[in-house]
Amino acid sequence: MRKYPNRQIHLDFHTSPLIPEVGCEFDQDEFGKTLGDAGVQLINLFGKCHHGWFYYPTKVGRMHPSMKSPLLPAQIKACRERNIDFTIYTCVGWNEDCATSHPEWQEISPEGILGNKRPFERGFYRWQKLCLNNLEYRALIKAELKEEYELYKPLGFWIDIILQHECICASCRAVAKQKGLRIEDEKDRRRIARMAQIDYMRDIREYIAGLDPELHVYFNGYPYAMDLGDDPELANANKRPFVTFMDIESIPSTEWGYSHYPIAAHYVNKYDKDLTMMNGKFHLAWGDFGSLRNKAALEYECFRALATGAGICVGDQLHPSGKLDPTVYKRIGAVFKEVEAVEPWCLNTRKMSEIGVYGTIRSSDSNSNAIDRSAEGAYRVLTELKLQYDFLDLNDDISRYRLLVIPDSVHLTKAAARKVDQFVAAGGRVLATGISGLDAEGKAFLPDCYPVKFLGQAESCPRYMDIAEGTFADVPAMKYVAYLQGAKVSAKEGAVVLAQSVDSYFNRSEEHFCSHRQTPPMLASAGEPAIVLGGGVAYVSNPLFADFAEHGVKAYKDILAGLIQRLLPEPLVTSDLPAYAEIVLRRNLGLRDERDTIVVHVLAYIIQRKCQALDTIEDAVPLHGRRISVRCGRKVASVMAVPSGEDVPFSQERDYV
């Protein structure tokens, strides 16, 4: 059962001291009515912003200098009058007032730059950065949280910018000495930075629990970010015990893109913790005043959250005057009304999946919420094929899946490789590509189940896959270029080679070149396999997932689809829906006493790049005369469209409805 309100607003209020008359148009009744009419259940209200100003009378900091009447108490009163929950937002990593007053609390980059902000630089999202390891600054944050809790008794705290760069300040030097690490070493600095995040969350979470153990807490330091968990001390999984829910900040324009949220969600929504999708009303990103997200885009983002079992938090930024924009909340309210109508079928469900996909980012390399190309390619291929999957780290249980995908460059530990071999021995199937599973010395594949032996990196890049007619449906015979560097392998005895690799005549260089791009393929293969099948494992010597994300060659998706069909001939879902339509299956856990109900989410929105800067959505596309088959494994009594309650005609053959 979801424990946290489902329809939320994150109300940014980062307001410069140079702006006069802050809050001059705030109207308490209007504020509450606007939120209530929009169907908002919870709002994150600002105690303190990135500029370092407080929005209530405080003894631990300074109230915004041009605010005549405190905003936060009046906002809280308006919410309480309408039974709207609230949390209090504060920022840690960025605080211009503290950074200026206490330069000794700032990070120092390895290049000696104070606050990780170069002089005279003030681009978007560039602030003076304070160090999480500084205990004096940490004590100030604790005093702030205590003050806000005692004054206002919020539902919880939303604590921002729990991020840490490589830092050589006195506090980080002390940590390095204590841990036996070398501050001069880049890997050690990265280690100190990650440990600072984890330790900060632990310390502040324990402090907040001492104030009130029932308080909800979220630290915006990427606890949802996917890494392999191969370093137990640094893994992002260490952050998750210190948050009571996970808020995936993912405004799909500019920085994040539309692939960021689903990858994060398909990684963490298999765990028993409330998940929230945070997008925004903005056209671009935070602070984009005077912009409004297309209604179809806002719908898609919110409905996709429901399909992944998540709550919805729409980001807005309050004008310095304190007045909410009625047009913005009319649009949010229209989408929230549709969300509310289907919530009974969405709030208490569990994802159904049969494919596990390993991530490729190592714990020691993960200090952001970025995704890599291999994960993006896997997301795109599997989603377009309507397959049901989870992203995994090396500590996840793989025995519950029917197929394991190991894309491109996964660094398996020896223990993880043994798990893969045991999985295949027990009847599981594996699809591996590129150099995934290579040992630390780069000499051999760790899993014994692979149908190939590693001989080295491919000498030719790009090179070609010689696909014969009829090998893969919808892939006519041709030598298909693979742009990214692959592996050189030989097939083990008994394995079936489905396609050979063909080198180019030479790699392009100053002296060796042909035409405008890559050199064409030789006339014949040197006998090196490109695609091999054997013992329940399919292997592709080229990193096709990253290549698909980078270059979008449909033949790559069709080749991968053909291999998956061989390995998983009866998937949970089949359909004739177009590639852009998405299907997600979830099982109802009993919110409406429908304990044996499968919920099928279908999203039909076209993501388009209509400008240089970003992708967006303008249209939802009706689907007519299409067929979906779901493998249920039992007799089905009825199929119903919700929320209308309309019966949907269906037939059942064996396990499929």
pLDDT per position as a tens digit, 565-598: 999 999 999 999 999 999 999 998 765 555 678 9
Q: Answer whether residue 335 shows pLDDT above 80.
A: yes
pLDDT at position 253, please?
Answer: 82
pLDDT at position 595, please?
Answer: 61
pLDDT at position 590, please?
Answer: 66
**What are the distances in angstroms from CA 321 to CA 64, 68, 333?**
13, 11, 22
Q: How far apart are CA 208 and CA 139, in angstroms?
A: 13
- Return the structure tokens found at 624: 């007519």
Place of tokens 């200098």: 65
**What are the distances in angstroms from CA 383 to CA 218, 577, 583, 585, 649?**
29, 12, 8, 12, 25
Q: How far is Cα of residue 421 from the mean position of the Cα atoms in its chain?
A: 29
Residue-averaged pLDDT of the chain:
95
Nearest to 275 by CA among 224, 238, 326, 213: 224
Q: Answer whether residue 482 shows pLDDT above 90.
A: yes
pLDDT at position 418, please?
Answer: 98
Helix (H, G, I), strand (E, B) or coil at 647: strand
Domain 7-351 and domain 355-571, same fold? Reply is no
Nearest to 373 by CA among 235, 230, 548, 225: 548
Do 360 and 237 touch, CB atoms closer than 8 A? Answer: no
Across the range 210-226, mean pLDDT stands at 96
Burial group, residue 648, by CB count within 10 angstroms (0-12, 13-18, 19+): exposed
Q: How far apart are CA 295 and CA 302, in angstroms?
A: 11
Quickly state the pLDDT bin for 126 (edges 50, 70, 90): confident
Q: Answer whether residue 6 shows pLDDT above 70.
A: yes
Q: Where exactly are the structural domains of the chain?
A: 7-351, 355-571
Where residue 645 falls (left for φ over 0; alpha for ψ -120 to 50; beta otherwise) is left
Does an H or E element contain 585, and which? strand 582-588
For 7-351, CATH number?
A: 3.20.20.80
Contacts of 499 (CB under 8 A, 6+ apart): 465, 466, 467, 468, 471, 529, 530, 531
pLDDT at position 255, please?
Answer: 77
Helix (H, G, I), strand (E, B) or coil at 456: strand
pLDDT per position as a tens digit, 517-537: 889 998 988 889 999 999 999
Nearest to 551 by CA among 524, 519, 517: 517
Do 454 and 489 touch, CB atoms closer than 8 A? Answer: yes
Which residues pair with residue 355 across a beta bridge?
389, 403
pLDDT-wise least confident of 286-295, 358-367, 369-378 = 358-367
Peptide bond preceding 20 in cis form (omega within 30 of 0): no
- Return the structure tokens found at 455: 């001989």
Do 423 and 399 touch, CB atoms closer than 8 A? Answer: yes
Higher pLDDT, 5 or 81: 81
Say which CATH topology domain 355-571 has: Rossmann fold (3.40.50)
pLDDT at position 116, please?
Answer: 87
pLDDT-wise least confident of 50-54, 383-387, 502-506 = 502-506
Q: Answer whether residue 637 shows pLDDT above 80.
A: yes
pTM, 2 dp: 0.95
pLDDT at position 447, please?
Answer: 98
**Helix 295-307 with 326-342: angle, nearest 10 deg:** 30
pLDDT at position 594, please?
Answer: 56
Quickly state the pLDDT bin for 507 (edges 50, 70, 90): confident
Which residues pair with residue 574 across a beta bridge?
629
pLDDT per position as a tens digit, 16-72: 999 999 999 999 999 999 999 999 999 999 999 999 999 999 999 999 999 989 999
pLDDT per position as a tens digit, 127-173: 999 999 999 999 999 999 999 999 999 999 999 999 999 999 999 99
Across the range 220-244, mean pLDDT stands at 95
